[in-house]
Amino acid sequence: MAPRVRTVVLERIAGMVHARVPARATAGSACFDLAAAEAADLIHGTVTLVRTGWKMRAPRGTFLEVRPRSGLASRGVLMVNAPGTIDRDYSGEIRVPMSYLFDGTYHIEVGDRIGQIRVIEDLPARFRNGTVAPVASRRGGFGSTGR
Protein backbone atom coordinates (compact mmCIF):
# COMPACT_ATOMS: atom_id res chain seq x y z
CA MET A 1 0.00 0.00 0.00
CA ALA A 2 1.41 3.40 -1.00
CA PRO A 3 2.03 5.90 1.80
CA ARG A 4 -0.44 8.76 2.17
CA VAL A 5 0.88 11.92 0.50
CA ARG A 6 0.64 15.04 2.67
CA THR A 7 0.47 18.54 1.18
CA VAL A 8 2.40 21.42 2.73
CA VAL A 9 0.95 24.78 1.72
CA LEU A 10 3.62 27.29 0.61
CA GLU A 11 3.30 31.06 0.38
CA ARG A 12 6.17 33.01 -1.16
CA ILE A 13 7.20 36.10 0.84
CA ALA A 14 6.71 39.27 -1.21
CA GLY A 15 9.89 40.23 -3.04
CA MET A 16 11.61 36.87 -2.45
CA VAL A 17 12.03 36.08 -6.15
CA HIS A 18 14.84 33.57 -5.47
CA ALA A 19 12.87 31.40 -3.04
CA ARG A 20 13.11 27.77 -4.22
CA VAL A 21 10.40 25.23 -3.53
CA PRO A 22 11.80 22.62 -1.11
CA ALA A 23 12.73 19.46 -3.02
CA ARG A 24 14.25 16.05 -2.40
CA ALA A 25 17.79 15.74 -3.77
CA THR A 26 17.24 12.07 -4.68
CA ALA A 27 14.33 9.62 -4.72
CA GLY A 28 15.71 8.08 -1.51
CA SER A 29 16.10 11.34 0.41
CA ALA A 30 14.19 11.43 3.70
CA CYS A 31 13.86 15.23 3.75
CA PHE A 32 13.31 18.14 1.39
CA ASP A 33 16.20 20.58 0.98
CA LEU A 34 15.65 24.20 2.01
CA ALA A 35 17.56 26.85 0.06
CA ALA A 36 18.64 30.37 0.97
CA ALA A 37 16.51 33.03 -0.74
CA GLU A 38 19.07 35.75 0.04
CA ALA A 39 22.82 35.79 0.46
CA ALA A 40 24.07 35.88 4.04
CA ASP A 41 27.36 36.06 5.89
CA LEU A 42 27.78 33.80 8.90
CA ILE A 43 30.20 35.44 11.30
CA HIS A 44 31.99 33.43 13.98
CA GLY A 45 30.33 33.83 17.37
CA THR A 46 27.00 35.14 16.08
CA VAL A 47 23.68 33.63 14.96
CA THR A 48 22.25 34.64 11.60
CA LEU A 49 18.66 33.94 10.57
CA VAL A 50 18.97 32.84 6.95
CA ARG A 51 15.84 33.52 4.91
CA THR A 52 14.09 30.83 2.85
CA GLY A 53 11.49 33.18 1.38
CA TRP A 54 8.57 30.92 2.36
CA LYS A 55 5.72 30.73 4.81
CA MET A 56 4.57 27.11 5.21
CA ARG A 57 1.55 25.41 6.72
CA ALA A 58 1.86 21.78 7.70
CA PRO A 59 -1.07 19.46 6.98
CA ARG A 60 -3.57 18.79 9.77
CA GLY A 61 -2.16 16.26 12.25
CA THR A 62 1.48 17.09 11.43
CA PHE A 63 4.21 19.63 12.11
CA LEU A 64 7.37 20.54 10.22
CA GLU A 65 10.88 19.86 11.43
CA VAL A 66 13.97 21.63 10.08
CA ARG A 67 17.21 19.68 10.31
CA PRO A 68 20.83 20.58 9.56
CA ARG A 69 22.74 19.37 6.51
CA SER A 70 25.75 17.19 7.27
CA GLY A 71 27.74 18.70 4.39
CA LEU A 72 27.56 22.13 6.04
CA ALA A 73 28.37 20.75 9.49
CA SER A 74 31.56 19.22 8.10
CA ARG A 75 32.63 22.77 7.12
CA GLY A 76 31.84 24.27 10.54
CA VAL A 77 28.39 25.63 9.64
CA LEU A 78 25.74 24.69 12.20
CA MET A 79 22.00 25.08 12.59
CA VAL A 80 21.92 26.22 16.19
CA ASN A 81 18.53 24.85 17.31
CA ALA A 82 18.68 21.55 15.46
CA PRO A 83 16.20 20.15 14.94
CA GLY A 84 13.89 23.14 14.70
CA THR A 85 10.18 22.58 15.21
CA ILE A 86 7.67 24.55 13.15
CA ASP A 87 4.28 24.28 14.80
CA ARG A 88 1.23 23.95 12.58
CA ASP A 89 -0.12 27.29 13.85
CA TYR A 90 3.07 29.26 13.03
CA SER A 91 2.44 31.62 10.12
CA GLY A 92 5.70 33.55 9.71
CA GLU A 93 8.58 33.08 7.31
CA ILE A 94 10.73 30.00 7.77
CA ARG A 95 14.22 31.19 8.66
CA VAL A 96 17.13 28.94 9.57
CA PRO A 97 19.29 30.08 12.54
CA MET A 98 22.89 29.38 11.57
CA SER A 99 26.33 29.90 13.05
CA TYR A 100 29.93 29.44 11.94
CA LEU A 101 32.37 27.65 14.26
CA PHE A 102 35.65 28.85 12.79
CA ASP A 103 37.29 32.27 12.79
CA GLY A 104 36.20 34.59 10.04
CA THR A 105 33.10 34.49 7.88
CA TYR A 106 31.26 31.82 5.89
CA HIS A 107 29.32 33.17 2.91
CA ILE A 108 25.95 31.69 1.92
CA GLU A 109 24.89 32.30 -1.67
CA VAL A 110 21.33 32.57 -2.95
CA GLY A 111 20.18 29.01 -3.69
CA ASP A 112 22.62 27.28 -1.32
CA ARG A 113 20.97 24.39 0.50
CA ILE A 114 20.93 25.49 4.16
CA GLY A 115 18.75 22.86 5.83
CA GLN A 116 16.30 20.04 5.35
CA ILE A 117 12.61 20.01 6.15
CA ARG A 118 10.43 17.04 6.99
CA VAL A 119 6.74 16.53 7.69
CA ILE A 120 6.30 14.76 11.04
CA GLU A 121 3.11 13.12 12.28
CA ASP A 122 1.85 14.79 15.45
CA LEU A 123 0.50 11.95 17.58
CA PRO A 124 -1.99 12.78 20.32
CA ALA A 125 -0.48 12.34 23.79
CA ARG A 126 -1.13 13.18 27.41
CA PHE A 127 0.99 13.17 30.53
CA ARG A 128 0.05 11.63 33.85
CA ASN A 129 1.74 11.17 37.20
CA GLY A 130 3.00 7.67 37.87
CA THR A 131 6.07 5.55 38.54
CA VAL A 132 8.75 4.97 35.93
CA ALA A 133 10.11 1.46 36.28
CA PRO A 134 13.93 1.41 36.07
CA VAL A 135 15.66 -0.34 33.20
CA ALA A 136 19.10 -1.56 34.31
CA SER A 137 20.90 -0.88 31.05
CA ARG A 138 19.71 2.74 30.68
CA ARG A 139 20.25 4.55 34.00
CA GLY A 140 23.47 6.45 33.31
CA GLY A 141 22.20 9.31 31.17
CA PHE A 142 24.59 11.11 28.82
CA GLY A 143 26.97 8.65 27.20
CA SER A 144 25.59 5.71 29.17
CA THR A 145 25.71 3.36 26.18
CA GLY A 146 29.43 3.92 25.57
CA ARG A 147 31.31 5.36 22.63
Burial (Cβ within 10 Å: 0-12, 13-18, ≥19) of residue 104: exposed
Q: What pLDDT does 6 receive? A: 86
Name the pairing type of β-strands 62-67 and 113-121: antiparallel
Q: What pLDDT does 135 receive? A: 73
Q: What pLDDT does 78 receive? A: 95
Q: What pLDDT does 139 receive? A: 59
Q: What pLDDT does 134 receive? A: 79
- Please state, in angstroms and rounded to a whole number, the distance separating the CA atoms of residues 36 and 50: 6
The CATH topology of domain 22-123 is Deoxyuridine 5'-Triphosphate Nucleotidohydrolase; Chain A (2.70.40)
What averages of pLDDT result for each successive group of 10 residues across the chain (147 residues)? 86 96 94 97 97 96 95 94 94 96 97 96 95 72 64
In single-letter form, the type of residue at position 96 comes to V
Q: What pLDDT does 100 receive? A: 97
**Residue 49 in 3-state DSSP?**
strand
Judge whether 25 and 96 are in contact, CB under 8 Å.
no
Confirm whether pTM is higher than 0.75.
Answer: yes
